[in-house]
């Protein structure tokens, strides 16, 4: 990634991804085109590194009946928040930061 277009945040009980995912990488909106490009590259890297996953809403529905990837998932930008990648632990975040920082 060229410029750092993301910020790592810790989730809490106000987040839809909590408690399954304790960390969030949020891609800034101030450079929308660049943030979308970087988000897409990061999703591809996560897919290759941690295996296939789902968007958060699908993940929450399917985890009740199907086997889902518990290491990561993502959430596309809405009016409320930017594009996000969620990670289960600091181990995944550290690997992400080693790759993208």
pLDDT tens profile 78-100:
878 889 999 999 999 999 999 98
1 has a pLDDT exceeding 50:
no
CB 86, CB 24: distance < 8 Å: yes
Mean of all residue pLDDT scores within the chain: 91
Residue with tokens 């289960």: 88
pLDDT band at residue 4 using 50, 70 and 90 as cut-offs = low
Mean pLDDT for 21-44 is 87
Residue 3 pLDDT class (50, 70, 90 cuts):
low
- pTM passes above 0.85: yes
Q: Name residues whose C-beta falls within 8 Å of residue 63's C-beta, 6 or more positions apart in sequence.
A: 20
Whether 22 contacts 88, CB under 8 Å:
yes
93 by DSSP, 3-state: which?
helix
């Amino acid at each position: 990634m060229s410029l750092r277009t993301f910020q790592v945040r810790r989730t809490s009980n106000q987040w839809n991804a909590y408690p399954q995912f304790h960390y969030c990488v949020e891609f800034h909106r101030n450079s929308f085109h660049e943030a979308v490009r970087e988000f897409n590259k990061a999703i591809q890297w996560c897919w290759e590194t941690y295996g296939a996953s789902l968007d958060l809403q699908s993940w929450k529905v399917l985890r009740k009946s199907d086997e889902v990837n518990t290491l990561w998932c993502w959430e596309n930008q809405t009016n409320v928040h930017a594009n996000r990648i969620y990670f289960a632990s600091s181990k995944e975040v550290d690997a992400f930061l080693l790759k993208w920082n």
